[in-house]
């Protein structure tokens, strides 16, 4: 009889361990999902803050950020952190980022988690993945906030969070990853129409 009781205890212990293991897997998956969601929200919040900075700049100065066309079209993001061109009524800094020392061509700002923060005047039409949407007559131009070197999995999750579905080339959130095989991408978030339209 004592032998049978030991066998029963062993079975009970194995069942308890199996239940504990299953609960661990479930709680681990829930924790991973919560961490991923917090990264998505943080990324979208950063893009929104860049948008608010541009809006404040435009309201204060009455103009768009100057365009840079070497070699791609971006706007001068330095003007969001210092009054480089002696704007009247400039009340910045509008963002707390520093200049990205390794990238003076695009006059980028340094993002603490990814790489660069930029702004770009681009169309609201279909574009993304391997091309950018230049503003043309009859195609409204918007200022887009951009953060580059965002992991593709996070970029995809953020696209779904913002637009409700995954689509790199349409909506308020775009993903540009050159050839579609890179581990990280540039993500763009539509802010508002530029003051000057083509």
Share of the chain above pLDDT 90, in %: 30
Share of the chain above pLDDT 70, in %: 77
Position 1 confidence tier, pLDDT thresholds 50, 70, 90: very low
CA pair distance 28, 187, nearest whole angstrom = 28
Position 89 confidence tier, pLDDT thresholds 50, 70, 90: very high
At a CB cut-off of 8 Å and minimum separation 6, what does 146 contact?
A: 74, 116, 117, 118, 119, 120, 186, 187, 188, 189
Whole-number pLDDT of residue 104 = 76
pTM strictly above 0.95: no
Tokens of 178: 């050159």
Whole-number pLDDT of residue 68 = 81
Strands 173-176 and 141-151 come out as unpaired
Torsion region of 189: left, alpha or beta (phi above 0 gives left; psi -120 to 50 gives alpha): beta
Residue 175, classed as helix, strand or coil, is strand
Average pLDDT over residues 60-74: 81
Whole-number pLDDT of residue 97 = 92
CA pair distance 181, 189, nearest whole angstrom = 21
pLDDT one-digit tens code per residue, 136-176: 777 788 999 999 889 988 999 999 999 999 988 889 998 88
């Amino acid at each position: 009889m004592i032998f049978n009781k030991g066998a029963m205890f062993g079975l009970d212990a194995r069942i308890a361990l199996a239940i504990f293991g299953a609960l661990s897997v479930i709680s681990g998956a829930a924790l991973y999902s919560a961490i991923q969601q917090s990264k998505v929200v943080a990324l979208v919040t950063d893009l929104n803050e860049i948008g608010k900075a541009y809006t404040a700049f435009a309201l204060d100065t009455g103009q768009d950020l100057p365009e840079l066309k070497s070699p791609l079209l971006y706007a001068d993001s330095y003007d969001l952190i210092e009054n480089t061109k002696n704007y009247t009524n400039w009340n910045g800094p509008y963002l707390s980022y520093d200049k990205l020392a390794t990238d003076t061509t695009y006059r980028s700002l340094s993002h603490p988690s990814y790489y660069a923060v930029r702004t770009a005047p681009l169309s609201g039409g279909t574009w993304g993945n391997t091309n950018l949407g230049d503003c043309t007559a009859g195609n409204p131009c918007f200022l887009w906030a951009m953060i580059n070197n965002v992991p593709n999995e996070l970029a995809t999750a953020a696209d779904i969070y913002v637009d409700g579905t995954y689509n790199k080339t349409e909506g308020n959130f775009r993903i540009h990853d050159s050839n579609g095989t890179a581990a990280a991408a540039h993500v763009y978030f539509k802010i508002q129409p530029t003051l000057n339209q083509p």
